[in-house]
Amino acid sequence: MKSIDALCPNCGLCCDSTLFADVELRAGDDAKRLKRLGLTLHQKTKTKLAFSQPCACFDGKLCRIYAERPKRCGLFECGLLKRVEVGEMSAHAALKKITSAKNQAEQARGLLRSLGQRDERMALTHRYAGVMASPMDFSKPEEMELRGELMLAVNDLMTQLQRDFLR
């Protein structure tokens, strides 16, 4: 079995907003076609179009437009995938790291929901930034405790993502 088939259907972290808040289109991408396929594009800078994550074309397991996905998606390989491909890591070990990162991301999402941030269409990092930027109510110790747990959960998640997926 190819590494990509062993890992990606069990992961999705590069499509569900855990790793990226958005994805920029590249030269050669057909923006009109991608829109028709279901991606919602926005003007990120004067010259760059992007689509936000969680990606509208991610079905929770796989990419619905795999054969026609944007160039950036086709080129991306996370660190785990690269290490499994060159034989530096077993698929079994990589799947354990995927499970750990997914559990950690789910813990962070659960805490965001507990703190009232329930918009699952927003990227995880944007949800986190929104919660942390809102004023603290010092009369609610429970909320302050949850914020502390959220900070630790997101910090742990970012450490795992940097270590295992982004290098």
CB of 20 to ligand SF4, least distance (A): 8
Amino acid at 56: A
CB of 117 to ligand SF4, least distance (A): 22
- The residues, any chain, with a CB within 8 Å of residue 3's CB and separated by 6 or more, are 81, 84, 85, 91, 94
- The residues, any chain, with a CB within 8 Å of residue 50's CB and separated by 6 or more, are 22, 23, 24, 25, 41, 42, 44
CB of 143 to ligand SF4, least distance (A): 32
Span interacting with ligand SF4, options 24-32, 71-79, 104-112, 147-155, rule CB under 6 A:
71-79
CB of 154 to ligand SF4, least distance (A): 18
Cα separation, 154 vs 29, in Å, equals: 33
Q: How far is CA 156 from the centre of its chain?
A: 15
SS3 105: helix
User: Which CB sits closer to ligand SF4, 42 or 113?
Assistant: 42
User: Which CB sits closer to ligand SF4, 57 or 124?
Assistant: 57
Contact flag: residue 50 with ligand SF4 (CB under 6 A): no
User: Which CB sits closer to ligand SF4, 57 or 105?
Assistant: 57
Strand partners, 23: 51
Interactions with ligand SF4, residue window 76-115 (CB under 6 A): 77-78, 80-81
Binding mask 21-40 for ligand SF4 (x = CB under 6 A): --x-----------------
Matching residue, tokens 């890591």: 89
CB 20 within 8 A of CB 108: no
- Site residues (CB under 6 A) for ligand SF4? 7-8, 11-15, 19, 23, 55, 57-58, 63, 65, 69-70, 73, 77-78, 80-81, 165
